Structure formats: C-alpha cells, structure tokens
Structure 1
C-alpha cells in the first residue's frame, strides 16, 4: 500500500506546484504521460494537447506523435518535415487509470480500436462514426507519418503505455497474453519490429517523478583552460581542449548508457542521423583518422552555464546548455569504446558563463545561423519576444521563448505560455482568425506577413489577455460533464475564445485596446458558458446548412468563421 499512498502525494504535489484546477483522473493522465516522456523533453502543453479521452476514445487516453523529438499536431507540421532514413518517429499510445490494478478490459478496448486504427481502408468518415474528433485527427496524422516513414525508410517506434495505481507490475498470464496480442497485431499491420508495451505501476511512476534532472556536471580539460574575463562580473569564458574520452563521459550517462538529452534543449537543431553527410564525415574521422588530432578537423563545442568553478583542469558547470555542436556530440556518443578506452585525441570546447537572457539568445543565434536554419526556429531571439517575456513576467506569468525553460525552473504549468500558443490566441482573438489559427499554426510564425501581423509591437499590451482568454476557455471545457459535448467543443477552443472576447468587450469588432483593458483573471465559468451556448447555436445552424461537413473540417473552415462574425453582428450584447 505504501507505493499507492506515496504516488497520491506525488500527484497532489504536482497539482499544487503547477496550479492545476483539474480532476484527479485528468491529473493522472497528464502526470503519467509527462514523466514517461520526460527524457524526450515534452512540455505540459504538448501533453495536454495529446489527451483524447472521453466518449469515443477507443480505450486511449493520450496519443503523442513525435518526429525528431518535436511534437506534431497538424498536417501542416508534417509538411515542414523532410523524411529520410535518419528521421526518428516515436508514437506514444497511452492509457492512464486511477484504478488500483491493471485491468484486462482496458486491453480489450485497445485491441478492438487498433484493428480499426491500423486498417488504412477505413477512411475518415468511417473513423468519425467510431471515435471522437480529437482521436480521429491524431489517427489521420499518425497514418500520414506512418506512410511517409515507410516510403523513406525512417525509424519508426510505437510505445504503448498503461499506467495505474497498482503497487507493482505483476500481472497474470492472461493479461500478458493480451499484451502480446496487441504487440503482434501492431507489428503485423505496421510492419516494423520496434513495438513496445510498457506497464507503469505506482512504483515506476514514483521512480520517474523522483529521478533528478542533473544539470551540474564537471568537464575535465587536457590542460587548465584559458580564462577570458567578460565585460562585467556576471559573465566570462573558458577555452580549451578536452579528450574525446572525457567529453564522452560529460555527455553520456554511463550507468544508463544513453546521451544526456537535457543538455541539448537550447540547441536549435536536433540530431540529423547517422546517414546525414556531415555526421558520416564526423564518424569516419573518429573511426579512421587517428594520425591527426580531432580538434584540428572540427569546429568544436559551445556550452553555456549559469555558474562555473575552475579547479586546476576541471571546470564545474551549473545549468549546462550545449548550444552548438549537437551533431558532433551525438556522433561521439555512439562510439561506446570511449567509455572504457582512453582516446587522447581532443575536441575544442568553449564555455561561457552567463545568466543574461539577451547574451544567451545572441550566442544561440550566432552559433546556429552560420548554416542554413529555418527562420521559424530563430524567432524567439527577436526583441519583441524578450519584451513579451518581460511584460508577462511583470504580471506573474511566464513566456516560454525556449521550450521548457520555465518548466525546468519549476514554474507552474498553468502560468506558462509558449510562442506557438500565444500566436494562435492572438490570431484567433485580435485578428478574428480562429480557423487559420486552428489549421495553420506553423504558418502563423513561419510566414513574415502573418508573423508581423500577429506580433505587432503596438498591440503587445493585449497579448497576455489573449492567452488568458484562451486558457480560461480550455479550463472551462474540461468541466463540461458530457464527454461527447466536451470532445466536440475541444476542436473549437479558439472559436469560443473569439466569441468570449466579444462578450467581454460587448462588441462584435473590438480592438487591442479593448482587450488590453479587460480583467480576464476574474472571468468565471458562467460568463464562459454564455460563450459556449452562443457557439453551440451557431454551430447547429451551420451543420444544418452544411450537413456534409464533419466537425474537424468545420473547425478549419473560414466559412464557419464568417458565420460566427455574422451572428455576432446580430447579437444583443449587454453590459
């Protein structure tokens, strides 16, 4: 019984720490998925968006799709990906229960659903009759990625997870047989051998929750590194060479025999794979060229730390961020011989001690812009985003310009907004474009025209309220008792946010000044329910006029937005 009691305490601490007003079932879903995928650096918002449970969930609670460690939510996201042999796809299909034991009926539901999910002849209209819209959208994304990965011979992994409050993972033979049947069915249909089914009892969940995220490491140089004083007392640098063996021990957790993923969170690129030309050349140099020192042939590594202490040849670094040299680091990590054999060839390493956000941004930008990089990945370093971060911070909220920056500092999840979510909220509310925000979230930031329209410095004072309105709507949706109604309206959170903005301002066409002046924190669910009721009546009329359109397509249709605008023009707002 101890594990169950301790897990309950961990979940309660997680809820209080992140200021979450959710039911125990909802907390369990988010808690388990977040910590199971922790090594992949998933964020709270990514996990929240993966939840598909409720009516028509087919026994699935969350459906996470990761390509090269980046979450995929829309077809537009897929179009941004270049699939090849080095592309790594990881799918998590998860069940999370608050029951005290693992149940066979949960596996039965999953098996029946998989027969349909993995049957490519079952098209969207047939899937929609069996599953809720949120799950259907995940299934369609999964299938698209699956087919592309087969054509391009990409690495494809499916992880089934089942979490509950059982004391341990001891299950009977019948349960194990059903797990084997699920794995066998998936292997047969998907035609990949990398299919896993993992059980997480209270014991495993406690271990994941308690596992420390070490960010203080020691780096041993060949000789005492050169110390270069910065322009102020808070910043300086160190320059020197490190043997390949010592650098391997710095980036790889020897006990677990895996690279320390968290060191690379601030690096713009992820690992491009063994087949990438540059990585093949690095590997060839490592394996065959021992006559010339490695650092002569490589640009080296850039590290940022919040604090550094030098003792002779060893540098103790806090909050380690490797911001350049990821491809080299990952390639080195694959040479397991370095764990046991000294390789006296060296790599050039520069370490910068700084906690100044502007300095860190400039270093990341400079060290990653020497080669072609998508402008989308570099937006976060812009001045307007630093200003938004300051503005949000002054109000007690956190603008996550770099993924999981504030999560890793222990800030409440309910107080954190990332760039993508902020852009969608602004587009839906200030630009009256909920359909575009729903269907093309990547384009909002990628294209200069839409990006400049959204992140208009003249409207910056209204940005936080846009985020809060959208958050209030999402929170209120979670309290809807009917699972069918809840799952339907989850597709329209941005549309409801736009409607709520009109109700709060008592205007159909409000402006940024109107939004800025709102006291959104005091808006209660009764006001939001008024927005929901108005939305439902508009949706019902639209469906009657367009019976051939399904919920997912309606959410992405500009025609539906025009219908909303027309109804709001006719609506009698009251002060």
Structure 2
C-alpha cells in the first residue's frame, strides 16, 4: 500500500534531514538519486556532480552520464574506449508530492527537446538554462561524439520520482512519458529509451537493497553455467569474505535469511567440532555448505589471493549457521592466523535480480532444513515494513529469529510476529477469543496469515498495537499475581481481553477505527484501571483453575459482559472476527485398526480446520480433568472425534502425551507436571515410567 510506504519514506527523509541539515525537498531529491542510481555505487561528490536542481533547471533535477558503468565527470581526464562502449544517460525529475502529475513531464519535454539536440552549440542555452545543466548536457554530448566511431550502445533513462503510487498513474501522465520516449528516439534511432516511475513503494524497495560488492576467493570452480556457480572456498578465505575491515561479521549479508544464529544447538555444536578437528575429513564433506544470491557475478581470474569471483548485492540465504560457526571459530580460537587453505566450504552462487526467483530460492533452500514454516514469511515485504516502523518507535521486531538478540539489543524491547499478531487480533479486530490462543501455525496458511499481515493495515497501527499491549502487560503483572496461581501462563491468555476492555473503557466504545487506536494515550492504561478490569472479569473464579481455563475459552463473551456492565457502546462488534482457514481433510485411523475392523472402529475423517480449532481451544498442558468434555461442548461433537483429534495433535507433534497430569515428550522425558494431580515422584526432566 503506497500510503504505508509513503509514511516509511517520510521517516527516512526526516532522519536524513536531521543528520544532513537539508530541507525536505533537497533531502527527497538526494534520497531519490541515491536509490535510483544505487547500482552505480556513487559517492556523495559524484551525486553532487550531476545534481542540477535550481534556478533555470528546465524541470530536471539530476543529469548523469555513465560510460561503461562509470560516471563521467571530467572530459579532460576521461579515458575513451576503442570499442564496446556502453552509454547510460539518466535524466531525473523529483517532486515531493503525493501523486504523479502531468505538469512535471510537461515542463521537461521542451528541455529534453533542446538539450538532446547535440548539434546545437551550448552557447545557445546561456541565460535560458543554468550552468550546471549545460555542463551536464555537454558531458553527455561529448561522450556520445567521442565514442561514435565504436558504434556505442546507448540507453536513455528518464526517471520521475515522487511519493505517489504507480498503480494510480493516470493515462495523461503515461501518455506524456511515451511522448518523451518517442522524442528521444527521433534523435537517437538506435537508442534504448525507458521512462521510469519511482513512487514511495519503489524507493522503499530500493532503499532496502544494500549495495554490496565483494570478492570471494576460491580454490576450485566445480561448475559454472548460466547464472550459477559452485565453488570450493578455503575456510580462511570464507572467513575473510564474511568479515569487514574491523573483523566484525557483515550481518547485512543475512538480511534475506529467514532466521538468525540459533546458538549452540546440536547441529551447530557438530559444525564447531568439525571445525576444531584439523585432522578430520575435509569440512565440505560433512557440511551442506552455503547458498548465496547475487545480482551479478564476475570472474576476476587470478588475483593476489588466488582465483576470485566478484559478487554484487550478495545475500547469504542458506547456511547462516555454518557461517556464524566459522566466524565464532576464528574469533574464539585465533585459527585465522594459521592457513586453512586445505579445508574448504562448499558455496553455491545463484545470479538473479528477479524478486520472484530470489524469493522462490529462499523458500526452496530453507524448506530442505528444519525451519519453522512460519519463518519463511520473514522476508515478506509486509514483515520488512513492520520491522522498519517498529524500529523507528524503539521496538525490535524479531521477524528473523535471534537477529536482535545476537547483536545485543535489549530483550524487553523485542516484539515477535506471533506477539504482534495476537495483539492486533485483540485490539484491531476485537477478537480476544482468538488472541488468547493464537499459535504460530496460523502463519503457515496464506488465508489466515494475510488476514492479519496485509498492506491494507495503516503502517502506524503496528507500533501503537505493540505499545498498548506492552502497557497492558506491565499493568497486569502485579494484580494478576494476586488473583491466580500461574500468572505468567494466564497473562498470555487473558491480556488480549484486558486490552480490548481497557480501550473500550478509555474511549467509551469497542468500535475503534485505526485512527482512534493510534490516538490512544497509553498513560491512561494505569495499574488501577487494569486491577479493576481483572477483578470484574475473572475475580469470581480466579482461584478455580478449571473455571479459569473454561472461561478462558469464552473471552469474547466475557468482554461483552464487561462492556454492558460499564455502559461501553458497540459491544456487538466483539467476537465477530475469526481466523479463516483452508479446509483440508485428515484421515485418522485407530491405533490398532485392521481390515476386519467393525464400524465402531472405522477410520475417522477430521478436517484440518477442525484440528486447528481443537488445538486453539486446548489450553497449555497439563490439561485439567474434563478437557475432552469441554471440547465436545465447544465443538458440538462426540467423544470419539475428540479423542481421535487429540491423538492426531500428539502424533503430529503439536501437543505432548499426557498421563494423569504428567506431560511427556516424544522421547519419554517429562516436560511438565500438574502438581495437584500427579504423583510426587514425577519430576520435570526425568524419564517417564508408568505407575504400572
């Protein structure tokens, strides 16, 4: 949604204004030049050389000429190629407006018509156009004339940048753009001409692309083909590649990775052990290696450090655990000082600048490993937008697991996608019954995921939702601890209901628009208010665990009753929204089924939708007695179906086995105990042995 992108863009502009002491118009122009010309890797001085905005600029703000990818600034010192010349001329107009206007292109049409007639003497332009614009035009004319004998390829780019939305581009604007293209083709019949529009969405997307050009030294090129390379890279050369000049890990290389370093897990410990075993098999024999994406790869041949591949806009999309383990190994052991060229890591480089292709590669390479399916959404545009807006408000959005933890950000400012989705469901969708039991699996389903995370949500709503829910949690801690026996567990279930009740009390209505939510003053969420709400909605059964669990499944009704008792308007909007799921049939059979099974033990078909609903209704384990009856009543189904559903949830790993209040994982280890029901000999962490 361009409106959300415009808000993000304005935030970037404001930050640059503060840092560089420019006005808004200048800052927008500079930002546009930086992003549109990012592939040329220009310095500020080089941008200044083509920045022609000012009096008598003819509607043109930037005029840049590149010869074989290099900006031409000084004709006297320029080296001219004898053949194979490639010329790119960029003419850019920038307007800090909310939409694309025809008048902008109307202004530059006569300017282009005059300036691109290279037969005209520049003296004819004096007094009509600024000296800066005339100089830029002369550079373009001279480059074209000096390379004419080599029959250069020439590409004109006319760029129009503003804060608007390209999808709203009016036909009269597009028609003027086509007119400009025809005009340039009349002067240069063999030229390629593109009129390109850059709105808020395009500038934000360009801003996210780190312009990175790095050299990767390798010992063997196993195979190379169209847009792909498979290399054996010495471990010490790879360690140099992933570190900057100060020896710090280049974390920007992992921006497209779906997760960050997961610590010393079993797999990562195995990688570390392999690195430490210098006399063992070659590292790449025992490791899956690393997958990289690049927009361009150039074989440099032999360099001082051996054969090398120059990679542009490189991203490591798979192999982060291997990369971090190599970095840790060198940093902790000092192994980098000794040559490890005899040990290598396998590196696959795929070259593409197509967003769809890159996304499919990210998903495919990570699907081959034990990555939580929900994590594959981490690189979605909406997730990046949320991360950007939250960081601007001092929150750190863990769209990639462990990223902010690994760079030392304060944990109390972390916001996870599940936490944010739960808060959004309660506050913006008035669905506390969903919020209190939302689990990560909702992100696996496109329908349920996009029902919450979509670009129709005003971007500024996300940080406000996070701020409100954190304020609710802080105010809940003390009064909740006085009311219930397991406050931490109950807080996760009840905080959404408390949040919507608090907002209803503050605003006098439950029917809250995004603008109304954003306007909420969180200082009004006081401990006294939250204590009063908690006392009213759970005070009567707070010390009865079974009742607390039962009522925790009816949070929408509880909020309605609270609203009616407090004369809060529009209670009818509570509980109307439910998560959409795509129904898929799951066929379940009894454990000891056979071909001779009677109808009483015949296979049972349960939809994936019903399984999800059952899992949502089930509280955290240990389950209290009567849990099957509760599910039967809530789902209006029979005990046989409920039992089969619970068996499937356990079989699929969504839930653990439970025996008389003792919760046991798939390896037979006790992970939780209901101390009020279970035998005292059972302890968390011990091996489960049945009472029989």
TM-score (norm 1): 0.41
Between 1 and 2, higher relative CO (CA 8 Å, sep ≥ 6) is seen in 1
Q: Which has the higher helix share?
A: 1
User: Which entry has the higher C-alpha Rg, 1 or 2?
Assistant: 2
